[in-house]
Chain A
């Protein structure tokens, strides 16, 4: 609820000045956010419609950059990869995170230790994770070499070096990095479920599995959404992970829009087309972002109506 401003005659100077503080405090951040969100987006949109090459220029060329972008096979692969990766990465992280959270919720011993183990990858960068996993995937030095040296000579583990499977290497590494985060959120959700509700289900004779499926998981449904939204944040960052893990290869098999934008803008001097690619990334995001922000606004309204 908004606090009613104290109105009336005997308002001191301090109080009147105080009325402006909220606006004064908020203004710089607002201005910065406005420039960052609105101006920068429109700016990039404009560049994407211009004939910018090595340097930005402002000759209007309409949708030419978009046409040449979509005519490019590599871009199409990159765009497909983004959706393929995001879907498996988000579902994978959630599945692993939920499994770990439920297991830890069974009053296991040493809970803090388990949690720390599963959560620490979140603290390190995709660069660090990608680098180290690229060594493990490397057939000459990594897991394959280890197993072969133990005597299984025909063992093959070369996910990241095969163009058909490299994307799975990226997905697995991504899940490793962020499933702990999902676990932490799910665990907190499980802990917030009303114990009476659970007890009632057990008295009714529901099995543990049924209790989870019918009682506990539905009550923490909002957490699923929260986890998904945060994971999409990470999915957008595929630039870091891929840059360190596979550098888009082998061939173009793990190219992502983020990598492609960077290449166009800073390696190949095609700024206009790079901006078009960046706008397409935003479009992909908007598919998720627009419904979600409507949902947030709707929920906030309801929240404030109920005090």
Chain B
């Protein structure tokens, strides 16, 4: 916007404009820099502390340059730190979270793609109303569903189990994935589908040959959204599972809440990073596509 840099001609007006431009640039980078510092500081603090020795943290303070280096905290947080009586670290909870997140993400994404396909390209009388009903699931606060879920999971024998959480997350996630995919598929020209139908292609063939090949952008968004959302979820995890069956978010709270003893920032930092790493990795590799796809699909 501001860079109408016509400062090639050496007249005073242009020189003034050039100075204004430079001042503007400095302000822009200055403000961005300050915000970047605020955004990065917590991450830097945690990463540094996860490699420091606890006595050194206690001596020099949590926010300080490291003067020691050890991998002790990581191995302790991963495999041997005591959370509420059991001394197995976060490993088990980490694997629980993986076992919960991966299937729930895949299933809900597949269902969302199919639902979105139907609701955009095979509309029938009343399908819009049904879509609105599914959309409401996006807004449902988890608290409303807690007691019914507890009952249903109990009846199915899925209390305190990762499978139970998979079920909960799939059903909760369908509304999001359907919304994303439906809004994206709407932009596929109907003529394309019509032509395929005239050529004799049916429901599944059109999905496989036309819709699916056009889907990667929205599927990436949906997978990232679901993966990070389910991995990071806490309420259902803490309510429906306990102890060794808990996902990592619940275990993290149990670990950092660990009451009266002096805070072991080294181990807690490593544990926090273990809990944050998978969604961060997903985001770093897919973030670019996420933003691009989100604006094509989710925001309509």
User: Taking beta carbons and an 8 Å cutoff, which residues of A are in contact with B?
Assistant: 1-3, 6, 14-15, 18, 21-23, 25-26, 28-30, 32-41, 43-44, 47, 56, 96, 99-100, 103-108, 112, 114-129, 131-136, 138, 141-143, 145-146, 149, 176, 180, 184-185, 187-189, 192, 198, 202, 208, 211-212, 222-223, 226, 233, 236-237, 239-240, 243-244, 247, 257-258, 261-262, 265-266, 271, 274-275, 277-279, 281-282, 285, 289, 293, 296-297, 300
B232 x A125 contact (CB < 8 A)? yes
B132 x A297 contact (CB < 8 A)? yes
Q: Out of A34, A43, A266, which one reaches B148, CB within 8 Å?
A: A43
Known: A127-B253, A136-B45. A3 touches B194 (CB 8 A): yes
A237 to chain B, nearest CB (A): 8
Q: Out of B174, B228, B268, which one reaches A131, CB within 8 Å?
A: B268
B28 x A262 contact (CB < 8 A)? no
B235 at the interface (CB under 8 A from A): yes
Known: A116-B284, A118-B39, A244-B256. A146 touches B279 (CB 8 A): no
B147 x A275 contact (CB < 8 A)? yes
Distance between Cα atoms of A145 and B291 in the complex (Å): 38
Interface size class of B (residues with CB under 8 A): 35 or more
Give 10 new A-B contacts, CB below 8 A, not counting A41-B144, A120-B43, A281-B144: A25-B118, A47-B147, A100-B32, A124-B232, A125-B275, A127-B232, A184-B294, A222-B299, A244-B256, A281-B143
Q: What would be 11 A-B contacts, judged by CB atoms less than 8 Å apart?
A: A6-B197, A18-B202, A29-B174, A32-B174, A33-B134, A119-B283, A120-B280, A127-B275, A146-B62, A239-B234, A278-B143
Interface of A is mostly: helix
B234 x A211 contact (CB < 8 A)? no
Return the 3 tightest CB-CB contacts between A and B, nearest first. Answer: A125-B232, A123-B283, A188-B295
A265 x B146 contact (CB < 8 A)? yes
B234 x A126 contact (CB < 8 A)? yes
Q: Mark B169-211, 1 if CB is under 8 A from A, else 0.
A: 0011011001000000000001001100100001110000000
Interface of B is mostly: helix
Distance between Cα atoms of A33 and B151 in the complex (Å): 17
Distance between Cα atoms of A237 and B235 in the complex (Å): 9
B283 x A243 contact (CB < 8 A)? no
B287 x A289 contact (CB < 8 A)? no
B1 x A208 contact (CB < 8 A)? yes
> What residues of A have a CB within 8 angstroms of the CB of B214 in the complex?
none
Distance between Cα atoms of A233 and B175 in the complex (Å): 13
A135 x B4 contact (CB < 8 A)? no
> What residues of A have a CB within 8 angstroms of the CB of B158 in the complex?
none
Distance between Cα atoms of A237 and B141 in the complex (Å): 8
Please provide the chain B residues from 27 to 61 with a CB less than 8 Å away from any CB of chain A in the complex.
28-29, 31-32, 35-36, 38-43, 45-46, 61
B83 at the interface (CB under 8 A from A): no
Known: A30-B134, A56-B151, A126-B234. A44 touches B294 (CB 8 A): no
> What residues of B have a CB within 8 angstroms of the CB of A192 in the complex?
295
A103 x B32 contact (CB < 8 A)? yes
Distance between Cα atoms of A22 and B294 in the complex (Å): 26
Residue of B nearest to A113 (CB): B36
Distance between Cα atoms of A190 and B228 in the complex (Å): 26
B98 at the interface (CB under 8 A from A): no
The segment from B11-19, B69-77, B119-127 that touches chain A is B119-127
A30 x B249 contact (CB < 8 A)? no
Known: A120-B43, A122-B283, A135-B265. A127 touches B252 (CB 8 A): yes
Max chain A Cβ within 10 angstroms of own Cβ: one of B2, B133, B141, B145: B141
Q: Out of B1, B35, B136, B283, which one reaches A120, CB within 8 Å?
A: B283
Q: Mark B261-300, 1 if CB is under 8 A from A, else 0.
A: 0010100100010011001101110011001101100110
